[in-house]
């Protein structure tokens, strides 16, 4: 049977829409499955947290706290004030050296409210010397006296000058009377200010310093309130160390008188006998070594030879008491305190 071509074309036109319908149906089912999977599997993994509501517990009733008493502020403890000590007063520096007012003395020591002195005699092979260790409560207890009580008084024996001053201990000074040059300050008064090679000064704070020519002037002494100043020399120590060589005309074994300072308020008198069979004397180097061994920081040579004298316990201790001198350095009790005591 012969079929015409127009009939076959109509059959093809009917089949094409059916295939398209089936394809569209399958596509729709796939979309639905994907949407379902999206909402039920993917989005469900991170659901929004929903608030959990529970019954709220009632707040406790407000309770009144007891009143806390105020704690008074405790003031900070004030640091104890140090007692006021006048300049040059060493009662706190050396309290064990002084008594409460009584005088305690023996052959080699003397202690009171203001003074503490220790006398020593040393004898070695052809050498005799004396030391007086001195502590003063006040720098003004280290005094000086002219031979007749006034500047340029005629010279007198050391023992007589010391006795008139009521001295406990005394050392011959720089014999200012025999020289026209050299500074003279005695008990705070400047009597002469002509230049000298070097001088020794005790200041109001108790310190003792030596100055070479050119290191001092009158204004310095007056402005600083120098208490004592001598002009003989030379200075015996350098920063507390012994000097090994002196360029000095009198640098040979000789009788010596000298003063040294350990620290303010603590001093030494030294007197060396010489020109005798028992004692030849000391060179300046030997004297320097002696002061260094005593612990002095500064020391100064005073007039020596026959003028070197030391007074202790009411008498002159050296062998030659006949030399007249012009001044002494001494320690004595305050006359007013003695009268009141």
- What total of structural domains would you count in the chain? 1
The tens-digit pLDDT sequence of the chain (341 residues) is 444 444 444 444 444 565 565 566 666 655 555 545 544 554 444 444 444 444 444 555 555 555 656 656 656 665 655 555 566 689 899 999 999 999 999 999 999 999 999 999 999 999 999 999 999 999 999 999 999 999 999 999 999 999 999 999 999 999 999 988 889 999 999 999 988 789 999 999 999 999 998 899 999 999 999 999 999 999 999 999 999 999 877 778 999 999 999 999 999 999 999 999 999 999 999 999 999 999 999 999 999 999 999 999 999 998 777 789 999 999 999 866 644 44
Q: Could you give the CA distance from residue 136 to residue 113 in angstroms, rounded to a whole number?
A: 9
For tokens 């900070």, the residue is 76
Q: Is residue 331 part of a domain?
A: yes
Q: Could you give the CA distance from residue 127 to residue 289 in angstroms, rounded to a whole number?
A: 15
Q: Is residue 56 part of a domain?
A: no
* HEC sequence for 229-293: EECCCCECEECCEECCCCCCCCCCCECEEEEEEEECCEEEEEEECCCCCCCCCECHHHHHHHHHH
Which value, to the nearest 10 degrees, does the dihedral of the CA atoms of residues 183, 185, 189, 194 take?
0
Structural domain harbouring 126: 110-340
pLDDT for position 293: 98
Q: Is residue 147 part of a domain?
A: yes
Q: Could you give the CA distance from residue 65 to residue 60 in angstroms, rounded to a whole number?
A: 14
Q: Do residues 202 and 250 lie in contact, with contact meaning Cβ atoms separated by under 8 Å?
A: no
pLDDT for position 247: 82
Q: Is residue 12 part of a domain?
A: no
pTM: 0.75
Q: Is residue 297 part of a domain?
A: yes
């Amino acid at each position: 049977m012969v079929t015409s071509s127009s009939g076959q074309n109509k059959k093809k036109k009917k089949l094409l829409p059916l295939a398209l319908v089936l394809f569209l149906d399958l596509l729709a089912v796939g979309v639905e499955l994907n949407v379902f999977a999206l909402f039920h599997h993917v989005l469900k993994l991170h659901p929004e947290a929903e608030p959990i509501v529970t019954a709220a517990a009632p707040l406790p009733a407000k309770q009144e706290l007891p009143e806390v008493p105020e704690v008074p502020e405790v003031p900070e403890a004030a640091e104890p004030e140090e007692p006021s000590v006048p300049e040059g007063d060493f009662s706190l520096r050396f309290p064990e050296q002084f008594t409460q007012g009584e005088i305690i003395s023996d052959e080699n020591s003397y202690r009171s409210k203001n003074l503490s002195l220790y006398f020593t005699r040393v004898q070695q092979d052809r050498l005799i010397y004396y030391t007086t260790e001195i502590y003063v409560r006040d720098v003004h207890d280290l005094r000086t006296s002219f031979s007749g009580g006034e500047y340029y008084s005629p010279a007198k024996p050391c023992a007589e000058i010391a006795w008139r001053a009521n001295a406990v201990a005394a050392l011959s000074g720089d014999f200012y009377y025999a020289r026209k040059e050299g500074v003279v300050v005695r008990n705070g008064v400047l009597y002469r200010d002509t230049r000298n090679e070097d001088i020794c000064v005790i200041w109001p704070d108790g310190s003792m310093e030596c100055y070479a020519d050119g290191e001092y002037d009158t204004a310095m002494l007056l402005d600083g309130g120098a208490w004592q100043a001598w002009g003989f020399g030379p200075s015996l120590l350098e920063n507390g160390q012994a000097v090994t060589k002196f360029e000095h005309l009198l640098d040979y074994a000789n009788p010596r008188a000298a003063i040294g300072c350990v620290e303010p308020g603590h001093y030494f008198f030294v007197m060396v006998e010489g020109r005798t069979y028992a004692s030849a004397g000391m060179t300046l180097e030997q004297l320097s070594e002696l002061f260094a061994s005593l612990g002095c920081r500064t020391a100064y040579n005073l007039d020596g030879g026959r003028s070197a004298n030391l007074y202790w316990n009411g008498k002159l201790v050296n062998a030659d008491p006949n030399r007249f001198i012009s001044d002494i350095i001494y320690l004595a009790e305050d006359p007013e305190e003695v009268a009141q005591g």
